[in-house]
Amino acid sequence: MAGAGGGGCPAGGNDFQWCFSQVKGAIDEDVAEADIISTVEFNYSGDLLATGDKGGRVVIFQREQENKGRTHSRGEYNVYSTFQSHEPEFDYLKSLEIEEKINKIRWLPQQNAAHFLLSTNDKTIKLWKISERDKRAEGYNLKDEDGRLRDPFRITALRVPILKPMDLMVEASPRRIFANAHTYHINSISVNSDHETYLSADDLRINLWHLEITDRSFNIVDIKPANMEELTEVITAAEFHPHQCNVLVYSSSKGTIRLCDMRSSALCDRHAKFFEEPEDPSSRSFFSEIISSISDVKFSHSGRYMMTRDYLSVKVWDLNMEGRPVETHQVHEYLRSKLCSLYENDCIFDKFECCWNGSDSAIMTGSYNNFFRMFDRNTRRDVTLEASRENSKPRACLKPRKVCTGGKRKKDEISVDSLDFNKKILHTAWHPMESIIAVAATNNLYIFQDKIN
C-alpha cells in the first residue's frame, strides 16, 4: 500500500476530522534555542504529557477533569510540574561540551500515587519521581514550626505531631542517575515490559540497565569495528517489544532493522531477524544511502508490527515477514526533486519520529512547513494537516493541506517552492487510548482532538 504524496482527506469521509484544542508556548518571533521542544511523550494512561527541550527542562502537563456542564467538553492539559532535568557539562578528558538538551523521555508504568519517568541527554539518564504533597506535619518536639531546633532543656511536654492541609505542591526529585556508560551520544531509551529493566542506545552500542542499579549496565549490542575506519553504519534507534521482555529491535543508518532475542545469547551480536527492503537499482542516486537511514522505529501496541521512518516515507513491517514491508506510506515524496538543496542546508539529516494511535489503525509523522501526516491503515486514506496559530481557535477544524509540485496551483494548495524548511514537526505523540494528539512545532506544543468527540 502506498499513500499519496501530500493529498487531503477525500470529501465525504469522516477520517481525520481533527479540531484544534490547545497550544502551549510563547508567540515570540525570535525563538530562543533553549526553548525548542526536543521530545514529547504521553504516559501510559494519557493523563500526563511530558515535553523536554534543548535547555534541559522537562514540562509535565496534566489533563484536567472534564467539565460536565459543557457538552463535548474534554479535559484540557495544563502545566502540572516544571523542573530542570539536565545541566550543561564539560568532558575535560575529551575537551567536549555535553549539551543539556533532553533527547528522550520515557514514562514508567504507574505503581503507586507517584509517577516516574526517565529522561536523557547525550550522556546521562536520570530517573525522576513526580509526587504530590497536600499535607504537612506540625507539632514536632525537637523543632519549632520554622524548622529551628529547640533547646532540649525547655521541652517540658510530649507533643504528638499532626498533619495539616496545605496548598498542593508537586515535587520532582531525581531518584537515580545512570551515567558513564556511553562513549557516543544516546539516541534511544526504552523501558522493558518486565518493568525492571530498560535499554539505552548510542551510535554503536546498546546497554541494558536495571532500574535499581546505577553503577553498572550490561552491554547487549556492540557494532563498533576493531578499526574505526571500517565503520559503515551506526545505530539510529532501539526499542523493546511491548510484551516480550526478551525481544528488542534496533535500526541503522543503512535502512536495516535487526530483531534480537536475548534468550539465544547474552550478547546480541547475532540478530534473530533481519528486515531490509531490496533497493530498486533504477531509482538509485547520490542521496539514496542518506535518505534510507531510519530515524525512528516503533512497535505497534499489539506487538505484531513495527513501524520505521526514513527521510521520505513511513514503512510498516510484519514481524513474521523480513523481506519487505507490508505497507509503505509516502510522507513528502514531492521533496525528492529538492534533495540537492536539502543536502546543502543539512535538512536531509533531520530525524523525524513516528507514532501509532491506540488501536494501531492509524499512524502519524511530521514534515516541513509545520505539516504533519496521518495515514489510516484500514481505509487507505491519508491527510496532511498544519500546526499553526492562525487557525488556533477552540474546536476549529483543521483543513487538509495539499502541496503542488508544478503547473497550475489551485487556490488551497501550497507550492513546494514556498515550503518553510525551518518549520519542522520532528516530534509527535498520540494518546494511548483516545483520539488526542500532541505535536511539537519549534517551541510550541499543539494539542488536537478528533471532531467526533
Assess contact for 369 and 420: CB atoms under 8 A. Answer: yes
pTM (predicted TM-score): 0.87
> Using one digit for the tens of pLDDT, what is the confidence trace for 42-56?
999 999 999 999 999
CATH of domain 18-450: 2.130.10.10
Could you give the 3-state DSSP secondary structure of residue 291? helix
Average pLDDT of the residues in 301-305:
96
pLDDT at 406 exceeding the cut of 80 = no
Local confidence band at 67 (pLDDT 50, 70, 90 cut-offs): low
Report how far Cα 87 is from the mean position of its chain's Cα atoms. 20
What is the pLDDT, as a whole number, of residue 281?
81
In order of 288, 296, 351, the CA distances from 309 in angstroms are 15, 5, 9
Domain locations along the chain: 18-450
DSSP summary character for residue 304: S
Q: C-alpha cell of 402?
A: 495539499
> Using one digit for the tens of pLDDT, what is the confidence trace for 228-256?
999 999 999 999 999 999 999 999 999 99
Name the residue with higher pLDDT: 156 or 299.
299
Question: Rounded CA gap, 326 and 266, in Å?
Answer: 31
Average pLDDT of the residues in 358-370:
96
Q: Which of 246, 370, 252 is closest to 308 using CA atoms?
A: 252
In order of 139, 273, 355, the CA distances from 322 in angstroms are 67, 7, 21
Task: Tell me the β-bridge partners of 298.
Answer: 307
What integer best gives the mean pLDDT of the chain? 89
Q: C-alpha cell of 280?
A: 530498486
